[in-house]
Structure 1
Amino acid sequence: MTFNLQDYVPSVLDLADTALRPLDSRHDLKIAFPVMQQLRPHLTSEADFMSRIERMRAGGYRLVGAFESSALVALTGYRLQENLIYGPFLYVDDLITDEAQRGGQWGSRLLRALERLARASGCARLVLDTGLANARAQRFYFREGLYTGALRFQKQFDTP
């Protein structure tokens, strides 16, 4: 199956888990902000978060939330990409479970949904980054069947 990196939005059926759904509306972003802020504390305002998401959506970024009853308990941000190294792949930008809900398998469920989405979209792999010092996340990813595939190098620039 081919995919359009800019326009593809999964349906609920793609996710195959009734507790998960795409987060598309402004209301969805408002309820996502406090959870995302636990992972990304540099996001200091809801308005900043919402404007960043809108810009990132132009590049194919999408959010999926996990709900228990009507409460958002976890979320993931991802995008379908293609490069000359991997071909088509699904990149996981963000994966976070609300601190009070950790241990409830929400991260595992979100990763399984993303794997199904990646496979259905013709991707050969799912890719994510984590900090070298983030041993807890690394253990979780290993348990979930993700393995180290690269070492990323970067150069940080001062920005005004």
Structure 2
Amino acid sequence: MTTVRLLLVTTEQECLRCFDVMRELRPHLDAPQTFVSRIMGQMAMGYRLLAAWEANRVVGLAGYRLTENLLYGRFVYVDDLVVSAAGRRHGLGARLIAAVREEARTLACRHLVLDTGLGMALAQRFYFRQGLLSRGMHFVEALSVEEMAS
């Protein structure tokens, strides 16, 4: 793997270049322009998308946001973390987590938080190796037919 740069996505064109990699994590995404629109809307609410670029192609992503609640205080929540199938096994996931962790520290956050599926044993093992510990379960109720399908 050649040199990989980590850069925040700021434009619609950069966001569009992220679609194929994000789709590896979120296969229900089927329209690139809808993806771009949703990401840009989330960015307007504080979401940040960190892209790992190898030359001119995206090989990994970390989507996260600064938030605060009574449980964790001020914290960064990682919504999306994915490395392309071709880019795995090169430490890129660890680099993305480390970059988000450092950003959280810079923002005076008390915690870094993420969720993963119960059946995602490899992801869970990776998170444990990165120093993240399982502290609970995440419960969800679909409130619309559209959400039940995803």
Considering the TM-score relative to the shorter chain, is it more than 0.5?
yes
Question: How large is the RMSD of aligned CA atoms in angstroms?
Answer: 1.2
Quick one: which amino acid aligns to residue 5 of structure 2?
Answer: A
- Give 3-state SS (helix, strand or coil) of 1:75's partner: strand
Partner of 1:131: 117
The size of the alignment, in residue pairs, is: 143
Unaligned ranges ≥5, structure 2: none
In structure 2, which of residues 46, 71, 76 is the aligned counterpart of residue 90 of structure 1? 76
> Segments of 4+ in structure 1 off by > 3 A?
none
In structure 1, which of residues 56, 59, 64 is the aligned counterpart of residue 50 of structure 2? 64
Structure-1-length-normalised TM-score? 0.85
Distance, in Å, in 2 between the alignment partners of 1:127 and 1:137 is: 14
Determine whether 1:20 maps to 2:44: no
Q: Percent identity?
A: 45
Distance, in Å, in 2 between the alignment partners of 1:83 and 1:96 is: 26
Unaligned ranges ≥5, structure 1: 1-17
Distance, in Å, in 2 between the alignment partners of 1:114 and 1:106 is: 12
Quick one: which amino acid aligns to residue 108 of structure 1?
Answer: A
Distance, in Å, in 2 between the alignment partners of 1:87 and 1:26 is: 32
Report deviation, 1:145: 0.7
Report deviation, 1:70: 2.6
Deviations 1:18-60 (CA, angstroms, capped at 9, x unpaired): 7111011111111100110111011101111011112212221
Determine whether 1:114 maps to 2:100: yes
Determine whether 1:55 maps to 2:49: no
In structure 1, which of residues 104, 117, 121 is the aligned counterpart of residue 90 of structure 2? 104
Deviations 1:91-120 (CA, angstroms, capped at 9, x unpaired): 000000011111111110000000100001
Q: Which has the higher contact order (CA 8 A, sep 6+)?
A: 1
